[in-house]
Structure 1
Amino acid sequence: MTSTTPQPLGTNRPQSTDVHRLEVVHVERDTYTVDVRGHRLQVDQPPEAGGTDTAPTPTELFAASLATCVAFYAGRYLHRHGLPRAGLRVRTEFTMSTDGPARVAALRVVIEPPPELPEQRRAGLLAVASHCTVHNTLHQPPETAIELAP
Protein backbone atom coordinates (compact mmCIF):
# COMPACT_ATOMS: atom_id res chain seq x y z
CA MET A 1 0.00 0.00 0.00
CA THR A 2 1.30 3.46 -0.90
CA SER A 3 0.68 6.35 1.45
CA THR A 4 0.38 9.97 0.30
CA THR A 5 0.81 11.23 3.85
CA PRO A 6 4.29 12.69 4.38
CA GLN A 7 6.36 10.52 6.69
CA PRO A 8 8.02 12.21 9.67
CA LEU A 9 11.65 13.09 9.04
CA GLY A 10 12.71 12.10 12.53
CA THR A 11 11.64 11.88 16.11
CA ASN A 12 13.82 14.60 17.61
CA ARG A 13 11.35 17.39 16.99
CA PRO A 14 7.58 17.66 17.19
CA GLN A 15 5.87 17.08 13.86
CA SER A 16 3.22 19.49 12.63
CA THR A 17 0.11 18.17 10.96
CA ASP A 18 -0.13 21.40 8.97
CA VAL A 19 1.96 20.47 5.92
CA HIS A 20 2.72 23.28 3.47
CA ARG A 21 3.53 22.34 -0.12
CA LEU A 22 5.08 24.09 -3.07
CA GLU A 23 6.42 22.92 -6.41
CA VAL A 24 9.42 23.99 -8.46
CA VAL A 25 9.45 23.38 -12.22
CA HIS A 26 12.28 23.97 -14.72
CA VAL A 27 11.52 26.69 -17.28
CA GLU A 28 14.75 27.02 -19.29
CA ARG A 29 18.49 27.18 -18.67
CA ASP A 30 18.84 28.20 -14.99
CA THR A 31 15.30 29.58 -14.64
CA TYR A 32 12.77 27.79 -12.44
CA THR A 33 9.18 28.60 -11.48
CA VAL A 34 7.95 28.13 -7.93
CA ASP A 35 4.21 27.66 -7.34
CA VAL A 36 3.09 28.53 -3.82
CA ARG A 37 -0.66 28.49 -3.05
CA GLY A 38 -1.46 29.75 -6.55
CA HIS A 39 1.28 32.38 -6.52
CA ARG A 40 4.07 32.01 -9.03
CA LEU A 41 7.64 33.15 -8.46
CA GLN A 42 10.72 32.68 -10.59
CA VAL A 43 14.36 32.21 -9.73
CA ASP A 44 17.36 32.52 -12.03
CA GLN A 45 21.08 33.16 -11.83
CA PRO A 46 23.07 36.21 -12.92
CA PRO A 47 24.90 35.98 -16.27
CA GLU A 48 28.28 35.44 -14.60
CA ALA A 49 26.82 32.28 -13.01
CA GLY A 50 25.33 31.02 -16.30
CA GLY A 51 21.83 32.43 -15.96
CA THR A 52 19.89 35.11 -17.79
CA ASP A 53 19.18 37.32 -14.74
CA THR A 54 15.39 37.30 -15.21
CA ALA A 55 14.69 36.86 -11.50
CA PRO A 56 16.34 36.73 -8.08
CA THR A 57 18.52 33.79 -7.13
CA PRO A 58 17.28 31.21 -4.61
CA THR A 59 19.82 32.60 -2.13
CA GLU A 60 18.45 36.11 -2.59
CA LEU A 61 14.95 34.75 -1.93
CA PHE A 62 16.31 33.10 1.22
CA ALA A 63 17.56 36.49 2.47
CA ALA A 64 14.32 38.12 1.32
CA SER A 65 12.35 35.56 3.34
CA LEU A 66 14.13 36.67 6.49
CA ALA A 67 13.73 40.37 5.67
CA THR A 68 10.03 40.11 4.86
CA CYS A 69 9.36 37.99 7.95
CA VAL A 70 11.08 40.59 10.15
CA ALA A 71 9.09 43.35 8.41
CA PHE A 72 5.82 41.46 8.93
CA TYR A 73 6.44 40.95 12.65
CA ALA A 74 7.55 44.57 13.07
CA GLY A 75 4.44 45.75 11.22
CA ARG A 76 2.17 43.63 13.40
CA TYR A 77 3.85 45.04 16.51
CA LEU A 78 3.24 48.59 15.31
CA HIS A 79 -0.37 47.84 14.41
CA ARG A 80 -1.04 46.14 17.76
CA HIS A 81 0.19 49.28 19.54
CA GLY A 82 -1.78 51.67 17.33
CA LEU A 83 1.32 53.02 15.65
CA PRO A 84 1.64 53.78 11.93
CA ARG A 85 3.49 51.34 9.68
CA ALA A 86 4.12 53.99 7.02
CA GLY A 87 7.86 54.42 6.63
CA LEU A 88 8.73 50.98 8.04
CA ARG A 89 11.63 49.52 6.05
CA VAL A 90 13.87 46.52 6.45
CA ARG A 91 17.26 46.33 4.77
CA THR A 92 19.15 43.08 4.49
CA GLU A 93 22.60 42.17 3.29
CA PHE A 94 24.33 38.83 3.19
CA THR A 95 27.74 37.45 2.42
CA MET A 96 28.63 34.05 1.04
CA SER A 97 31.10 31.73 2.68
CA THR A 98 34.54 31.65 1.07
CA ASP A 99 35.09 28.01 2.01
CA GLY A 100 32.95 24.97 1.22
CA PRO A 101 30.23 24.02 1.17
CA ALA A 102 28.45 26.83 -0.68
CA ARG A 103 26.33 28.68 1.88
CA VAL A 104 25.40 32.06 3.30
CA ALA A 105 28.04 32.95 5.89
CA ALA A 106 26.40 36.03 7.40
CA LEU A 107 23.09 37.89 7.28
CA ARG A 108 22.52 41.41 8.57
CA VAL A 109 19.02 42.79 8.95
CA VAL A 110 18.42 46.46 9.79
CA ILE A 111 14.94 47.65 10.72
CA GLU A 112 14.19 51.27 9.89
CA PRO A 113 11.17 52.07 12.05
CA PRO A 114 8.65 54.71 11.09
CA PRO A 115 9.86 58.20 12.06
CA GLU A 116 6.98 58.57 14.56
CA LEU A 117 8.01 55.53 16.61
CA PRO A 118 8.29 56.60 20.26
CA GLU A 119 11.65 55.86 21.88
CA GLN A 120 10.02 53.63 24.51
CA ARG A 121 8.68 51.31 21.75
CA ARG A 122 12.01 50.73 19.95
CA ALA A 123 13.19 47.85 22.17
CA GLY A 124 9.80 46.14 21.93
CA LEU A 125 9.79 46.43 18.15
CA LEU A 126 13.25 44.90 17.92
CA ALA A 127 12.39 42.09 20.35
CA VAL A 128 9.23 41.10 18.48
CA ALA A 129 10.74 41.41 14.99
CA SER A 130 13.79 39.37 15.93
CA HIS A 131 11.56 36.44 16.88
CA CYS A 132 9.94 36.05 13.48
CA THR A 133 9.37 32.52 12.17
CA VAL A 134 12.25 32.58 9.68
CA HIS A 135 14.71 33.95 12.26
CA ASN A 136 13.59 31.32 14.78
CA THR A 137 14.08 28.64 12.12
CA LEU A 138 17.63 29.79 11.46
CA HIS A 139 18.38 29.50 15.18
CA GLN A 140 16.72 26.09 15.49
CA PRO A 141 17.17 24.54 12.04
CA PRO A 142 14.57 22.04 10.92
CA GLU A 143 15.42 18.47 10.12
CA THR A 144 15.78 18.47 6.34
CA ALA A 145 15.61 15.60 3.88
CA ILE A 146 16.34 15.78 0.16
CA GLU A 147 15.34 12.65 -1.71
CA LEU A 148 14.56 11.37 -5.19
CA ALA A 149 10.99 10.48 -6.12
CA PRO A 150 10.48 6.79 -6.92
Structure 2
Amino acid sequence: MLHERLWTGPGSILTRGGCEISVSRFDPAGLPVGSGRIVLDLRRECFGDQRSWASLTPAEARGLAGLLTAQARVVEEEVARRDEPAGQGDGPLEVHRVQGDHYTTVVRGHRIDTDQPLTAEGTDEGPTPVELFVASLASCVAHYAGRYLDRHHLPGEELRVSARFTKAPGPIVRIGTVALQVTVPALPPGRTAGLLAVARHCTVHNTLEAPPEVTLDLTTGSGSTQ
Protein backbone atom coordinates (compact mmCIF):
# COMPACT_ATOMS: atom_id res chain seq x y z
CA MET A 1 0.00 0.00 0.00
CA LEU A 2 1.08 3.57 -0.60
CA HIS A 3 1.05 4.45 3.10
CA GLU A 4 3.58 1.69 3.80
CA ARG A 5 6.17 3.76 1.94
CA LEU A 6 5.45 6.97 3.84
CA TRP A 7 8.33 8.52 5.75
CA THR A 8 7.41 10.83 8.60
CA GLY A 9 8.56 14.32 7.74
CA PRO A 10 10.60 16.69 9.89
CA GLY A 11 7.58 18.53 11.28
CA SER A 12 4.11 19.94 11.06
CA ILE A 13 2.33 23.20 11.75
CA LEU A 14 -0.80 23.88 13.78
CA THR A 15 -3.02 26.62 12.41
CA ARG A 16 -4.83 29.16 14.54
CA GLY A 17 -8.06 27.30 13.81
CA GLY A 18 -6.64 24.09 15.31
CA CYS A 19 -5.85 22.27 12.06
CA GLU A 20 -2.62 20.23 12.00
CA ILE A 21 -0.83 20.07 8.64
CA SER A 22 2.16 17.74 8.33
CA VAL A 23 4.70 17.47 5.52
CA SER A 24 6.43 14.19 4.70
CA ARG A 25 7.65 12.21 1.71
CA PHE A 26 7.44 8.74 0.18
CA ASP A 27 10.36 6.33 0.18
CA PRO A 28 11.91 6.73 -3.32
CA ALA A 29 12.68 3.00 -3.46
CA GLY A 30 9.04 2.29 -4.24
CA LEU A 31 8.64 4.97 -6.91
CA PRO A 32 9.58 5.05 -10.61
CA VAL A 33 13.12 6.15 -11.51
CA GLY A 34 13.47 9.92 -11.58
CA SER A 35 10.42 10.61 -9.44
CA GLY A 36 9.91 11.74 -5.86
CA ARG A 37 6.74 12.63 -3.98
CA ILE A 38 6.20 15.11 -1.14
CA VAL A 39 3.09 14.57 0.98
CA LEU A 40 0.92 17.34 2.43
CA ASP A 41 -1.38 15.76 5.02
CA LEU A 42 -4.48 17.60 6.24
CA ARG A 43 -5.80 15.77 9.30
CA ARG A 44 -9.42 14.72 8.95
CA GLU A 45 -10.19 16.58 12.18
CA CYS A 46 -9.48 19.82 10.34
CA PHE A 47 -12.67 19.66 8.32
CA GLY A 48 -15.75 18.03 9.77
CA ASP A 49 -17.49 18.39 6.43
CA GLN A 50 -14.72 16.35 4.71
CA ARG A 51 -13.48 19.33 2.68
CA SER A 52 -9.70 19.05 2.20
CA TRP A 53 -8.57 22.61 2.68
CA ALA A 54 -7.14 24.81 5.40
CA SER A 55 -7.05 28.58 5.88
CA LEU A 56 -3.58 29.85 6.79
CA THR A 57 -2.31 33.13 8.18
CA PRO A 58 0.68 34.66 6.36
CA ALA A 59 2.99 33.40 9.12
CA GLU A 60 1.50 29.91 8.89
CA ALA A 61 1.83 29.94 5.11
CA ARG A 62 5.52 30.88 5.38
CA GLY A 63 6.05 28.06 7.87
CA LEU A 64 4.37 25.58 5.56
CA ALA A 65 6.44 26.84 2.62
CA GLY A 66 9.59 26.24 4.66
CA LEU A 67 8.58 22.65 5.42
CA LEU A 68 7.72 21.99 1.78
CA THR A 69 11.00 23.49 0.57
CA ALA A 70 13.01 21.40 3.03
CA GLN A 71 11.29 18.20 1.91
CA ALA A 72 11.70 19.15 -1.75
CA ARG A 73 15.46 19.46 -1.31
CA VAL A 74 15.67 16.11 0.48
CA VAL A 75 13.68 14.40 -2.27
CA GLU A 76 15.87 15.90 -5.00
CA GLU A 77 18.99 14.66 -3.21
CA GLU A 78 17.53 11.18 -2.65
CA VAL A 79 16.54 10.84 -6.30
CA ALA A 80 19.99 12.01 -7.43
CA ARG A 81 21.73 9.48 -5.18
CA ARG A 82 19.42 6.67 -6.28
CA ASP A 83 20.01 7.47 -9.96
CA GLU A 84 23.81 7.34 -9.58
CA PRO A 85 25.12 5.08 -12.38
CA ALA A 86 25.82 1.52 -11.24
CA GLY A 87 29.27 -0.03 -11.32
CA GLN A 88 31.24 2.86 -9.87
CA GLY A 89 33.94 1.63 -7.53
CA ASP A 90 33.47 -2.01 -8.59
CA GLY A 91 36.89 -2.47 -10.14
CA PRO A 92 40.44 -1.15 -9.82
CA LEU A 93 42.10 1.44 -11.97
CA GLU A 94 45.80 1.33 -12.75
CA VAL A 95 48.37 4.01 -13.47
CA HIS A 96 51.35 3.20 -15.72
CA ARG A 97 54.40 5.33 -16.32
CA VAL A 98 54.94 6.25 -19.96
CA GLN A 99 58.04 8.43 -19.73
CA GLY A 100 59.26 11.10 -17.37
CA ASP A 101 56.25 12.81 -15.80
CA HIS A 102 53.85 11.35 -18.36
CA TYR A 103 51.52 8.68 -16.89
CA THR A 104 48.51 6.84 -18.28
CA THR A 105 45.58 5.79 -16.12
CA VAL A 106 43.48 2.86 -17.35
CA VAL A 107 39.94 2.53 -15.96
CA ARG A 108 37.20 0.36 -17.51
CA GLY A 109 39.04 0.40 -20.83
CA HIS A 110 39.42 4.20 -20.89
CA ARG A 111 42.84 5.86 -20.89
CA ILE A 112 43.56 9.16 -19.16
CA ASP A 113 46.94 10.85 -19.61
CA THR A 114 48.48 13.07 -16.94
CA ASP A 115 51.69 15.03 -17.16
CA GLN A 116 53.35 18.23 -16.01
CA PRO A 117 53.51 21.45 -18.05
CA LEU A 118 56.62 22.38 -19.99
CA THR A 119 57.38 25.06 -17.42
CA ALA A 120 57.66 22.30 -14.79
CA GLU A 121 59.97 20.14 -16.95
CA GLY A 122 57.14 17.93 -18.20
CA THR A 123 56.02 17.21 -21.76
CA ASP A 124 52.45 18.51 -21.30
CA GLU A 125 50.79 15.37 -22.69
CA GLY A 126 47.81 15.89 -20.41
CA PRO A 127 46.53 17.77 -17.36
CA THR A 128 48.34 17.48 -14.06
CA PRO A 129 46.94 15.09 -11.44
CA VAL A 130 45.82 18.11 -9.41
CA GLU A 131 43.98 19.58 -12.40
CA LEU A 132 42.37 16.19 -13.00
CA PHE A 133 41.28 16.09 -9.37
CA VAL A 134 39.51 19.44 -9.68
CA ALA A 135 38.10 18.35 -13.05
CA SER A 136 36.57 15.27 -11.42
CA LEU A 137 34.76 17.51 -8.93
CA ALA A 138 33.54 19.90 -11.63
CA SER A 139 32.39 17.10 -13.94
CA CYS A 140 30.60 15.35 -11.06
CA VAL A 141 28.74 18.57 -10.25
CA ALA A 142 27.90 18.94 -13.95
CA HIS A 143 26.58 15.37 -14.07
CA TYR A 144 24.22 15.89 -11.14
CA ALA A 145 23.10 19.29 -12.43
CA GLY A 146 22.44 17.77 -15.85
CA ARG A 147 20.37 14.96 -14.34
CA TYR A 148 18.33 17.56 -12.43
CA LEU A 149 17.61 19.52 -15.60
CA ASP A 150 16.66 16.37 -17.51
CA ARG A 151 14.42 15.16 -14.71
CA HIS A 152 12.46 18.42 -14.76
CA HIS A 153 12.45 18.68 -18.56
CA LEU A 154 14.53 21.86 -18.51
CA PRO A 155 16.98 22.81 -21.28
CA GLY A 156 20.50 21.66 -20.47
CA GLU A 157 22.39 21.99 -23.74
CA GLU A 158 24.20 25.10 -22.50
CA LEU A 159 25.03 23.68 -19.07
CA ARG A 160 28.65 24.21 -18.09
CA VAL A 161 30.68 24.20 -14.89
CA SER A 162 33.87 26.22 -14.53
CA ALA A 163 36.36 25.80 -11.71
CA ARG A 164 39.22 27.77 -10.19
CA PHE A 165 41.50 26.49 -7.46
CA THR A 166 44.37 27.74 -5.34
CA LYS A 167 47.12 26.00 -3.41
CA ALA A 168 47.06 26.23 0.37
CA PRO A 169 49.95 28.02 2.10
CA GLY A 170 52.22 26.08 4.41
CA PRO A 171 54.63 23.16 4.20
CA ILE A 172 51.96 20.59 3.22
CA VAL A 173 51.26 20.69 -0.50
CA ARG A 174 47.50 20.59 -1.05
CA ILE A 175 44.59 22.47 -2.60
CA GLY A 176 43.31 25.25 -0.38
CA THR A 177 40.23 26.48 -2.22
CA VAL A 178 38.04 25.40 -5.12
CA ALA A 179 35.46 27.78 -6.60
CA LEU A 180 32.85 26.27 -8.90
CA GLN A 181 30.50 28.21 -11.14
CA VAL A 182 27.47 26.45 -12.63
CA THR A 183 26.01 28.16 -15.69
CA VAL A 184 22.60 27.17 -17.06
CA PRO A 185 19.88 28.85 -19.13
CA ALA A 186 17.23 30.80 -17.23
CA LEU A 187 15.47 28.61 -14.66
CA PRO A 188 11.80 28.75 -13.68
CA PRO A 189 11.07 30.28 -10.26
CA GLY A 190 11.89 27.93 -7.41
CA ARG A 191 14.30 25.68 -9.34
CA THR A 192 17.58 27.39 -8.43
CA ALA A 193 17.69 26.13 -4.84
CA GLY A 194 16.83 22.60 -5.93
CA LEU A 195 19.54 22.46 -8.59
CA LEU A 196 22.20 23.78 -6.20
CA ALA A 197 21.14 21.33 -3.48
CA VAL A 198 21.51 18.40 -5.87
CA ALA A 199 24.83 19.62 -7.30
CA ARG A 200 26.32 20.08 -3.83
CA HIS A 201 25.56 16.45 -3.04
CA CYS A 202 27.39 14.87 -5.95
CA THR A 203 29.60 11.90 -5.05
CA VAL A 204 32.92 13.72 -5.32
CA HIS A 205 31.68 16.72 -3.31
CA ASN A 206 30.31 14.40 -0.62
CA THR A 207 33.67 12.60 -0.52
CA LEU A 208 35.49 15.88 0.10
CA GLU A 209 33.03 16.75 2.86
CA ALA A 210 33.62 13.36 4.54
CA PRO A 211 37.11 12.17 3.45
CA PRO A 212 37.48 8.42 2.93
CA GLU A 213 40.06 6.22 4.58
CA VAL A 214 43.06 5.99 2.24
CA THR A 215 45.63 3.20 2.53
CA LEU A 216 48.96 2.99 0.70
CA ASP A 217 50.89 -0.28 0.32
CA LEU A 218 54.11 -1.05 -1.53
CA THR A 219 54.69 -4.16 -3.64
CA THR A 220 58.29 -4.92 -4.62
CA GLY A 221 59.55 -6.77 -7.67
CA SER A 222 59.66 -9.97 -5.63
CA GLY A 223 55.91 -9.73 -5.12
CA SER A 224 56.05 -8.95 -1.42
CA THR A 225 53.78 -6.24 -0.04
CA GLN A 226 55.00 -3.75 2.54
Shorter-chain TM-score range: 0.7 to 0.9
What SS does the aligned partner of 1:119 have? coil
- Note if 1:42 corresponds to 2:88: no
Deviation at 1:128, TM superposition (A): 0.3
- Give the residue type in structure 1 aligned to 2:168: S
Specify the structure having the higher radius of gyration (Cα): 2
What SS does the aligned partner of 1:92 have? strand
Corresponding residue for residue 9 of structure 1: none
1:107-137 deviations in Å (ceiling 9; x for gaps): 1111112x23213101100000010000000
- Give the residue type in structure 2 aligned to 1:76: R
State TM-score, norm by structure 2: 0.57
Separation (CA, whole Å) in 1 of partners of 2:122 and 2:106: 20
Unaligned runs of 5+ in 2: 1-88
1:63-93 deviations in Å (ceiling 9; x for gaps): 0000000000000011111111111110101
Moved over 2 A (4+): none
1:42-81 deviations in Å (ceiling 9; x for gaps): 0000122221111100000000000000000000011111
RMSD: 1.1
Q: How many residues align?
A: 132
Corresponding residue for residue 141 of structure 1: 211
Please give the residue correspondences for 1:1-150 in structure 2 after superposition, counting only pairs within 5 Å: 19-113=90-184, 115-149=185-219, 150=224
Unaligned runs of 5+ in 1: 1-17
Structure with larger RCO (C-alpha < 8 A, sep 6+): 1
Separation (CA, whole Å) in 2 of partners of 1:25 and 1:125: 38
What SS does the aligned partner of 2:211 have? coil
What SS does the aligned partner of 2:124 have? coil
Separation (CA, whole Å) in 1 of partners of 2:169 and 2:199: 29
State TM-score, norm by structure 1: 0.84
Deviation at 1:98, TM superposition (A): 2.4
Give the percent of matched residue pairs that are identical in Structure 1 and Structure 2: 54
